[in-house]
């Protein structure tokens, strides 16, 4: 798919699993297990799906997934599927980590920035050696000093080396990145998460990140138990789902195990998915 000067491609760097109850908050299992069947440990499967935006001068990737720095215990807890990796996903597109010019980080949770750094001879380095990385300053500040409740989600080895090597660029608030790319700050899931909107006025795609990780999170009360401010998430969903409906946006899901993006339609007072797509070839 093309939007303005960018060619959009889907990169899938892996799969892992999280507790189904935590993924769906107050929604009863009898409802969410239909769309997201749990395993024997009550975990549901998550993809780590990225957008790759290529222009003549840039190759931008949004988020970096789980990465490969996990110990055996964590691999078991999160059922990290090691058949996949960012490098092999890039190779399938004829690219290497060296080719990436910009890494847009929606937030610094381990499943979004785990692949930002690699261990090389015991030393932590940026995984994309020629890239500038971007994050909201507010999210970095929180990531350095998270609460006791969410500190398990922020692992410093995934972002501290970026900061120290000077490749991490700070964004403050909503911002236009260039003619097609715009960043919107949301604060329900964590503080200073940014969504990425790519638009040329005709076609618009929103990288929802953890506002709505699965297509099944479109209905308004489907809000993760992880969220620090669930009622803020609710208001943010109302705001962006209305815009998505009014302006016919494609909503891109970073974690849905099947659906890459979808359009939405009205359903009662809320919304549900309309058309669902696994790849851009179907559009
Ligand atoms: Zn998150």
Q: How far is the CA of 254 from the centre of ligand 1 (A)?
A: 10
pLDDT per residue over 208-243, tens digit each?
999 999 999 999 999 999 999 999 999 999 999 999
User: pLDDT at position 179, please?
Assistant: 98
Q: Hey, how many other C-beta atoms are within 10 angstroms of the C-beta on 42? A: 14
Q: How far is the CA of 224 from the centre of ligand 1 (A)?
A: 10
Q: Largest alpha-carbon pair distance within the chain?
A: 56
Region 29-55: mean pLDDT is: 98
User: pLDDT at position 75, please?
Assistant: 96
Q: How far is the CA of 209 from the centre of ligand 1 (A)?
A: 8
- pLDDT at position 207 over 80: yes
pLDDT per residue over 244-267, tens digit each?
999 999 999 999 999 999 999 999
The whole-angstrom separation of Cα 36 and Cα 14 is 17
Q: What is the mean pLDDT of the chain?
A: 97
Whole-model pTM over 0.95:
yes
Q: How far is the CA of 234 from the centre of ligand 1 (A)?
A: 16
- pLDDT at position 281 over 90: no
Q: How far is the CA of 220 from the centre of ligand 1 (A)?
A: 18
Region 25-50: mean pLDDT is: 98
Residue 86: which residues within 8 A CB-CB, separation 6 or more?
Answer: 11, 13, 14, 50, 64, 65, 67, 97, 115, 127
Q: How far is the CA of 109 from the centre of ligand 1 (A)?
A: 5
Residue that the structure tokens 């500190």 belong to: 151
Region 184-199: mean pLDDT is: 98
- pLDDT at position 272 over 90: yes
- pLDDT at position 283 over 80: no
- Say what percent of the chain tops pLDDT 70: 99
Of 48, 59, 62, 63, whose CA–CA distance to 7 is shortest? Answer: 59
Q: How far is the CA of 123 from the centre of ligand 1 (A)?
A: 26
Residue 204: which residues within 8 A CB-CB, separation 6 or more?
Answer: 3, 197, 198, 247, 248, 249, 250
Q: How far is the CA of 56 from the centre of ligand 1 (A)?
A: 31
Give the end-to-end CA distance of the chain in Å, rounded to a whole number: 8
Q: How far is the CA of 226 from the centre of ligand 1 (A)?
A: 8
User: pLDDT at position 282, please?
Assistant: 66
Q: How far is the CA of 179 from the centre of ligand 1 (A)?
A: 27
Q: How far is the CA of 152 from the centre of ligand 1 (A)?
A: 11
- pLDDT at position 70 over 70: yes
The whole-angstrom separation of Cα 17 and Cα 279 is 22
The tokens of 255 are what? 């974690």
Beta strands in 148-233 (DSSP E): 168-171, 175-176, 181-186, 193-199, 204-207
């Amino acid at each position: 798919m093309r939007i303005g000067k960018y060619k959009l491609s889907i990169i899938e760097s892996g799969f892992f699993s999280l507790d189904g109850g935590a993924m769906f908050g107050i929604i009863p299992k009898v409802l969410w297990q239909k769309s997201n069947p749990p395993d024997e440990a009550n975990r549901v499967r998550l993809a780590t799906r990225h957008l790759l935006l290529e222009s003549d001068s840039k190759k931008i990737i949004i988020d970096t997934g789980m990465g490969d720095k996990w110990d055996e215990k964590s691999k078991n807890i999160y059922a990290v599927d090691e058949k996949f990796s960012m490098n092999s996903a890039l190779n399938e597109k004829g690219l290497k980590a060296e080719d990436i010019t910009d890494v847009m980080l929606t937030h610094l949770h381990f499943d979004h920035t785990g692949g930002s750094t690699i261990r090389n001879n015991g030393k932590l380095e940026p995984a994309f050696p020629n890239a500038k990385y971007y994050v909201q300053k507010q999210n970095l500040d929180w990531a350095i000093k998270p609460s006791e409740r969410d500190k398990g989600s922020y692992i410093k080895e995934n972002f501290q080396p970026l900061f120290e090597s000077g490749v991490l660029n700070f964004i403050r608030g909503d911002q236009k990145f260039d003619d097609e790319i715009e960043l919107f700050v949301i604060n329900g899931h964590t503080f200073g998460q940014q969504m990425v909107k790519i638009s040329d006025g005709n076609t618009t795609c929103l990288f929802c990140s953890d506002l709505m990780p699965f297509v099944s999170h479109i209905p308004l009360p489907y809000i993760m138990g992880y969220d620090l401010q669930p009622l803020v998430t609710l208001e943010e969903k109302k705001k962006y789902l209305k815009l998505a409906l009014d302006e016919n946006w494609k909503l891109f899901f970073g974690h849905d195990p099947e659906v890459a993006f979808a359009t939405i339609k009205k359903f009662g007072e809320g919304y549900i998915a309309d058309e669902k797509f696994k790849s851009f070839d179907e559009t």
